[in-house]
C-alpha cells in the first residue's frame, strides 16, 4: 500500500478496541481509538480517516446515531459496523443509511481484512447472484478486466449475507435461485439496501415474465436476457456508474 490507511476504532469496550488496534497495526494500518460516539466525532473533525470501525451498541450515543453524525462530518468515509448482540433493527437502520457493512463479534479477521480492502479500494463493486458457477466466473473475469470489483453468490442466502457485509453498487440477479427465487431475494435485499441498483438476468424470459415484471415494478433497474451480451452489459454498468 502506498499510503498508510488511517482507521478509527469506536468501541466502549476498551480491551476489545485495544486488541483490535494491535492486530490492525501489525497489518500496517495507522489506528486511533475512541470509547464513545462524542469522542469519535471530535476525532473525525480533527483528523482525516480512510475508514471507521464502529460498535453498534454503546451508551449515550449508539453506533447508528454516531454513524449518522459522521455522514454530516465526513460523508465519504466508509463505516463498518460491529456488534456482539442481536440488534437487528439497529443493523438494518445502519445499512439502510449507507453503512458499508456489518461484522459480528467475535471478529472474523479474514472477513475484516477483506472488508477493509473493499471499503477503501477504487472501482464499482458488483455482486453476481446466479447458481451457474461457470457463468458467474465468466462474467467476473470479463468485468474484472474492465476495472470492476466483482463478487459472486450462488444462492439467495449467500447473496443476502454478502449484501449485509458489503455496500455493492450493482447486483446482477438471476430469477431462478435456491432457496429463495429471484423476486423473493430482491425483496429481502431491497429491505437491507434500498439504494442498490439491481439488474435482472434470466434465460427464461417467457417463463419468468410475471416475476420479472413484478421485480421491475418494485424498482429493479432493467432486465438482460441470457446468453448475456457482455458489451451491452458493460455499457449498462458504465451508464449506471456515470
The full set of domains in the chain, from first to last, is: 6-120 (3.40.50.2300), 125-241 (3.40.50.2300)
The C-alpha cell of 193 is what? 439496501
pLDDT digit string, tens, across residues 146-191: 999 999 999 999 999 999 999 999 999 999 999 999 999 999 999 9
Q: What percent of the chain has pLDDT over 90?
A: 91
User: What pLDDT is recorded for position 212?
Assistant: 96
98 CB neighbour count, 10 Å cutoff:
15
Measured distance CA(129)–CA(49) in Å, rounded: 32
- Put simply, whether the predicted model's pTM sits higher than 0.75 gets the answer yes
Of 234, 193, 171, 184, nearest in space to 214 by CA: 184
Q: 123 pLDDT band (50/70/90 cuts)?
A: confident
Whether residue 33 has pLDDT greater than 80: yes
**Ranges of H-type helices in the chain:** 14-26, 37-46, 63-73, 88-96, 109-120, 133-145, 156-165, 182-192, 209-217, 230-241
Measured distance CA(152)–CA(132) in Å, rounded: 10
DSSP string over 25-42:
HHTT-EEEEESSHHHHHH
On the 0-12 / 13-18 / 19+ scale of CB atoms within 10 A, 227 is exposed
Whether residue 48 has pLDDT greater than 90: no
Compute the average pLDDT of residues 61-88.
93
Helix (H) / strand (E) element for 78: namely none
User: What pLDDT is recorded for position 78?
Assistant: 97
Whether residue 3 has pLDDT greater than 80: no
Q: 1 pLDDT band (50/70/90 cuts)?
A: very low
Whether residue 193 has pLDDT greater than 70: yes
Q: Is the peptide bond before 227 cis (omega within 30 degrees of 0)?
A: yes
Amino acid at each position: 500500500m502506498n499510503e498508510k490507511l488511517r482507521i478509527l476504532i469506536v468501541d466502549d469496550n476498551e480491551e476489545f478496541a485495544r486488541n483490535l488496534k494491535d492486530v490492525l497495526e501489525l497489518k500496517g494500518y495507522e489506528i486511533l481509538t475512541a470509547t464513545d460516539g462524542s469522542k469519535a466525532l471530535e476525532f473525525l473533525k480533527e483528523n482525516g480517516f480512510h475508514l471507521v470501525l464502529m460498535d453498534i451498541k454503546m451508551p449515550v450515543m449508539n453506533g447508528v446515531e454516531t454513524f449518522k453524525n459522521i455522514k454530516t462530518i465526513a460523508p465519504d468515509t466508509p463505516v463498518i459496523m460491529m456488534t456482539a448482540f442481536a440488534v437487528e433493527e439497529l443493523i438494518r437502520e445502519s445499512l439502510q443509511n449507507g453503512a458499508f457493512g456489518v461484522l459480528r463479534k467475535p471478529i472474523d479477521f479474514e472477513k475484516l481484512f477483506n472488508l477493509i480492502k473493499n471499503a477503501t479500494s477504487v472501482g464499482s463493486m458488483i455482486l453476481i447472484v446466479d447458481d451457474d458457477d461457470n457463468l458467474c466466473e465468466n462474467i467476473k473475469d470479463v468485468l474484472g478486466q474492465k476495472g470492476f470489483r466483482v463478487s459472486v453468490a450462488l444462492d439467495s442466502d449467500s447473496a443476502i449475507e454478502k449484501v449485509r457485509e458489503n455496500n455493492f453498487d450493482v447486483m446482477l440477479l438471476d430469477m431462478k435461485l435456491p432457496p429463495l427465487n429471484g423476486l423473493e431475494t430482491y425483496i429481502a435485499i431491497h429491505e437491507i439496501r434500498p439504494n442498490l441498483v439491481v439488474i435482472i438476468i434470466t434465460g427464461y424470459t417467457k417463463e419468468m415474465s410475471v416475476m420479472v415484471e413484478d421485480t421491475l415494478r418494485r424498482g429493479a433497474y432493467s432486465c438482460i436476457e441470457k446468453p448475456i451480451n457482455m458489451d451491452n452489459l458493460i455499457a449498462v454498468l458504465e451508464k449506471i456508474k456515470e
